[in-house]
Amino acid sequence: MRGLSYDPGILPSEMIIRHRFKPINDIPREEMLARKSFPSVKEVKIYTIVSDQLSPPITGESFCTDMVRHSDYAELEDKYAALAADNDKAMESLKQADAAVKLAHEKFSALAAENAELKQSEKEFNNFCRQEYYGWEDNFTETPATDAFLAEIERKAIRKFINSIEHILRDKLSPYDTEEMLESMRIFLEEQGGEQK
């Protein structure tokens, strides 16, 4: 970097970009932590430059400055943008799957409420008939097939939801987080199956 001319009208960061270098500490720590991915040594080479040799010199706590090539930094920014776009798509898919499960649950709830109303009206009818005729036998309509069908629809909706987000989870999360979430969902599905039996 020796031999660069000093121009008082150019800020140090602009000078660094102009010379195809960018300080590594330009990325705020919070932003790096939010990304959950850090540039690896394999991807980006970090250069240590004596601060006095920069034009204009950078003054700070250390006599040297860590820098990366602007092209490497730009490439990482592009990768970050692509990952952010993938994440947005994954979140949209997750929202759609969640909406589908909510719709299935609403339909299931409506059918269950209708079924309960039918059973209640039958009880009221039997009570009326019993008052009119003492020998009336109560033959309540049992709907085990309907109950089983509705329970299976709910289980299928939950299974479909889990399967639809499993792909997203495997692509976007660490293996440990993915397996932990999938195991929680499997336990939830088994609990739902146990309640319905």
pLDDT class for 179, splitting at 50, 70, 90? confident
42-52: per-residue pLDDT in tens? Answer: 567 777 777 77
73-124: per-residue pLDDT in tens? Answer: 888 888 888 888 888 888 888 888 888 888 888 888 888 888 888 888 888 8
Is residue 4 a part of any domain in this protein?
A: no
Same domain, 192 and 129: yes
How many Å separate Cα 178 from the centre of its chain?
Answer: 11
Q: Per the structure, how many domains does the chain have?
A: 2
Contact 55, 15 (CB under 8 A): yes
- Helices then strands, counting H and E runs in the chain, come out as 5, 3
> What pLDDT score does 194 carry?
62
Give CA–CA dist 24/47, Å, rounded.
Answer: 9
Same domain, 172 and 113: yes
End-to-end Cα separation, the chain, in angstroms: 75
Q: How far is CA 71 from CA 18, 51, 125, 146, in A?
A: 11, 21, 81, 64
- E strands of the chain, at which residues? 21-23, 46-50, 64-69
* Residue where a domain terminates, one of 41, 61, 78: 78
Q: Which residue has the higher pLDDT, 166 or 80?
A: 80
Q: Which residue has the higher pLDDT, 24 or 151?
A: 151
Give CA–CA dist 57/39, Å, rounded.
Answer: 26
pLDDT class for 140, splitting at 50, 70, 90? low
pLDDT class for 35, splitting at 50, 70, 90? low
pTM here? 0.37
Same domain, 175 and 96: yes
Same domain, 154 and 73: no
DSSP 25-58: GGS-HHHHHHHT----TTT--EEEEEGGGSSSPP
pLDDT class for 41, splitting at 50, 70, 90? very low
